[in-house]
Structure 1
Amino acid sequence: PENLHDVVMANLFATVLQRSFEKMAKTLREGGVLVVSGVLEDQWDDTREAAQAAGLAFEVVHQRGKWISAKGGAA
């Protein structure tokens, strides 16, 4: 398929990320990397669950203060 990407990066509100994970999953090339940031600590569980529902998983999660960023890809 065309328009597949090795890396997708998104620094968006958690609610926007959650609605976008299915589309992001479809645009990642096999073995591609997804990087997200801008997620507040109290929104992380819902965001992670939405990613999992779209077939994505995060292997690395960083937190600085109340902000979370994460790196992952297809589960």
Structure 2
Amino acid sequence: MKNLFDQDYLIKLANTKMPFGKYKGYDLINLPEHYIVWYKTKGFPPGTLGKMMSEVYELKLNGLEDLILKLKK
């Protein structure tokens, strides 16, 4: 979670879109909680996308998504 202290990374997290699936085009931070939880149990995708989705999971779990929503362009 070191990246969560980097402002540029947080802005990127706030504006990254889901590239595939049922919620293609949604901002990761706006994905429904049940979808993120499903991925948590299934396994997040590899690479940067999976890392970001994992961080969105932690943010939602702790009720902190509003902090990221303020960074949206």
- Give the alignment's TM-score, normalised by structure 1: 0.28
- Please give the TM-score of this superposition, normalised by the length of structure 2: 0.29
Higher strand share: 1
Q: Pick the structure with more helix per residue.
A: 2
